[in-house]
Amino acid sequence: MNSTTNELDWRSDKVPVSKVFDDPYFSLDNGLAETKHVFIEGNGLSERFRDGFSIAELGFGTGLNFLTTVLSWREQQCSGILRFTSFEAFPLQPHDMTRALLAFDELQDIANEFAPYWLGLLENGKIMLPDVELSLIQGDARSQVSNWTGLADCWYLDGFAPAKNPELWGEEILQAVYDRTHLKGTFATYTAAGFVRKNLQRAGFEVIRIAGFGRKRHMTHGYKSASDAK
Ligand SMILES: C[S@@+](CC[C@H](N)C(=O)[O-])C[C@H]1O[C@@H](n2cnc3c(N)ncnc32)[C@H](O)[C@@H]1O
> What pLDDT score does 230 carry?
47
Q: Which CATH architecture has domain 3-223?
A: 3-Layer(aba) Sandwich (3.40)
Burial class (CB in 10 A: 0-12, 13-18, 19+), 16: buried
Alpha carbon nearest to ligand 1 atom 13, residue = 59
Closest atom of ligand 1 to 21 CA is 15
Q: Has this prediction a pTM greater than 0.85?
A: yes
pLDDT band at 6 (very low <50, low <70, confident <90, very high): confident
The whole-number pLDDT of residue 226 equals: 73
With cut-offs at 50, 70 and 90, classify the pLDDT of residue 228.
low
Residues 130/69/107/98 CA torsion (nearest 10 deg):
80
Position 124 pLDDT exceeds 60: yes
Residue closest via CA to ligand 1's atom 17 equals 89
Q: Probe ligand 1: pick from 90, 102, 146, max atoms within 8 Å of CB?
A: 90
Pocket of ligand 1 (CB under 6 A): 6, 25-26, 59-65, 87-90, 140-142, 158-160, 165, 167-168
| Residue 3 pLDDT > 50 | no
User: Per-residue confidence at 129, pLDDT binned at 50, 70, 90?
Assistant: very high
Closest residue by Cα to residue 103 from 53, 35, 156, 160: 35
Torsion of CA 213, 184, 145, 162, to 10 degrees: -30
Residue boundaries of the structural domains of the chain: 3-223
